[in-house]
Amino acid sequence: MDHKLRQALDSAVTARRDALVALTQDLVRIPTLNPPGLNYREICDLLAARLQARGFVVEMIRAEGAPADSDAHPRWNLVARHEGAASGDCVHFNGHHDVVEVGHGWSVDPFGAEVKSGRVYGRGACDMKGGIAAAVIAAEAFIETCPDYAGAIEISATADEESGGYGGVAYLAERGWFDPARVQHVIIPEPLNKDRICLGHRGVWWAEIETHGRIAHGSMPFLGDCAVRHMGAVLAEMEQTLFPLLAGKRTEMPVVPDGARASTLNINAIHGGAPEQPPDYTGLPAPCVPDRCRITIDRRFLVEEDLAEVKREVTALMERVKDRRPSFTYEIRDLFEVKPTMTDRDAPVVRTVAGAIEKVLGRMPDYVVSPGTYDQKHIDRIGKLKNCIAYGPGILDLAHQPDEWVGIDDMVDSARVMALSLGELLLP
């Protein structure tokens, strides 16, 4: 691309600064909370109207039969496609439109989309409505500046990323939307910062571990067998052997933050004995020896690790505890697993976006890997499309936090990078 054209493209983006802010605000003001999955149709309608007016062909796809899809909370997705003047590659921007619960501790209206000190505030501003808006603005600026481009641009807004993506990208990928024959480059504008390219993510294994005992009267615990004490022994064994083992495993993947370069395990929940009563219950609990105790574990593993080995570590730990506690039995139930994924640094979309970051920001990008997964897993595993990265504005640490915000300058800069990347990929 020659210098003059690059300048024109860049000006077309920067001239849209106010439009970018306004679009981000419009998106944030639609509370697409997940769960349960609110207003998905509304946010798709908003983007559909906008993109249709700019020559995109829009398809609305409801993920019927996907987990959590219902008539009360339908899982709506949008795919918009703009065809160039000649055949060529298709560049696809994919953003999830759902947001997580608000939580406590906000000083602004979470759905007010207030602008102050150069930032747009609100739930989803950073993760990832600011990113969707940046991609839309980049595409609009590019199409206006270079109407005779070769290839196609797609923009999708998809459901349920925050709950696994099964009503969103996974559903679309299973139906061929990310077939490498129709899409060649994917950019997911998750909030990884304007100067970083995210190549992929660590793996995940969620499981439920249950210890089994025997119920009895709480005044005579010797007549029962306390499942919570067994679980206590399991947790103690984790502290002594598993956590140190995991902390010692370091990856070559450039995971950020640095703490996530090791293998990690979180205990997401623990439940044992009588269920907790609602807060308005005024009675006392009944005295019983708990016969069941469950934890949910969230194990994040590295590209160097094998999932079967990851599971074996936990089974071996349970067996060690069992050796010392003869009455104890247990069960491990798999809940969810995702293998690590990492796009090659030499992949075309990586090289192109890296070059664009260098030109726009005047510095080399950092290459990072995300500690948690995102929709790239479905594009890779189901869609078989390897040429995929996450690149977008916003600071990852702010995601899911109170007073979430996205910087306006950052959105503009990343839109400039995206527009320039379109130029490199779609102009002869």
Residue with tokens 């020659």: 2
Q: Binding pattern to Zn ion, positions 160-199, x when CB under 5 A?
A: ------------------------------x---------
Rule CB under 5 A: is residue 127 a binding residue for Zn ion?
A: yes
Residue 139 binds to Zn ion (criterion: CB under 5 A):
no
The total of other beta-carbon atoms located within 10 Å of residue 291's CB is 18
Piece of the chain touching Zn ion by CB under 5 A; list 70-78, 127-135, 164-172, 223-231:
127-135
Residue located via tokens 């994924």: 341
Q: Nearest to residue 372, comparing CAs of 205, 193, 201, 207?
A: 201
Is 78 a binder of Zn ion (CB under 5 A)?
Answer: no
Min. distance of Cβ 128 from Zn ion in angstroms? Answer: 4
Give, as one character, the DSSP assignment of residue 382.
T
Please identify, among the stretches 33-41, 120-128, 200-208, 211-219, the one whose residues bind Zn ion according to the rule CB under 5 A: 120-128
Q: Which is nearer to Zn ion, 143 or 192 (CB)?
A: 192
SS3 label, residue 41: helix
Instruction: State the number of binding residues for Zn ion (CB under 5 A).
Output: 3
Length of the chain: 428
The least distance separating Zn ion from the CB of residue 164, rounded to whole angstroms, comes to 12
Please give the Cα distance from 191 to 137 (Å, whole number). Answer: 16
Angle at 281 between CA 277 and CA 283, to 5 degrees: 95
Q: Report the residue closest to Zn ion, judged by CB.
A: 127
Stretch that binds Zn ion, among 47-55, 123-131, 137-145, 390-398 (CB under 5 A): 123-131
Q: Does residue 100 touch Zn ion according to CB under 5 A? A: no
CA distance linking residue 190 with residue 394, whole number of Å = 8
Q: Could you tell me which residues are beta bridge partners of residue 59?
A: 79
Minimum distance, C-beta of residue 207 to Zn ion, in the bound complex (Å)? 24
Regarding 375 and contact with Zn ion (CB under 5 A), the answer is: no
Choose between 154 and 190: whose C-beta lies nearer to Zn ion: 190
- Cα–Cα distance, 265 to 168 (Å, whole number): 27
Of residues 51 and 128, the one with the C-beta less far from Zn ion: 128
d(CA 365, CA 356): 9
CB 424 within 8 A of CB 360: no
CB of 230 to Zn ion, least distance (A): 38
Choices 125-133, 270-278, 292-300, 339-347; region in contact with Zn ion by CB under 5 A: 125-133
Residue 343: φ, ψ to 5°? -75, 145
Taking CB under 5 A as the criterion, the residue among 128, 216, 246, 408 binding Zn ion is 128
- Contact residues for Zn ion, defined by CB under 5 A: 127-128, 190
